[in-house]
Structure 1
């Protein structure tokens, strides 16, 4: 499983693969980049760490995303 990070930089928010300096996606806001990233991760098995402005991890998401728990039978 590949690991990715969304973090702030001097030019806004960036999506990068862990261990690689290449910027995959950028946006002015974190929420905009998270929304854009959903399509990027659609067919990937990955872990996405979303950072706060201070660099600490706010949230971690894994892909593929599980189905909506409210729609599960059981």
Structure 2
């Protein structure tokens, strides 16, 4: 039995600064980026698309690596009042 999460459900997508400049989109636990972008906004747009399709968490990091914003795409209760 594998401990890996099935593709398309769960997991976390991260937007992180790239060491050589620009921004990377990475799935949690991945050693390689799934995409590299010149601007943070381009990376965020692609990461949101991936996160929505995967119904996963999205973590957007600052240039210093700290998490600046988190979003959840999926598994949210629909009957919450507020």
RMSD of Structure 2 on Structure 1 (CA): 2.1
Cα distance in structure 2, aligned partners of 1:35 and 1:15: 10
Task: List aligned pairs for 1:23-38, cutoff 5 A.
Answer: 23-38=33-48
In the alignment, does 2:24 pair up with 1:14?
yes
TM-score, length-scaled by structure 1: 0.74
Gaps of at least 5 residues in structure 2 are 1-9, 77-81
Over 6 Å off, 4+ runs:
none
1:15-44, Cα deviation, whole Å (9 max, x unpaired): 111111121111111111112233323421
Query: What residue is the counterpart of 1:46 in the other structure?
Result: 56
TM-score, length-scaled by structure 2: 0.68
Aligned residues between the structures = 67
Q: Verify the 8 A CA contact 2:51 2:57 in the aligned structure 1.
A: no
Gaps of at least 5 residues in structure 1 are 67-73
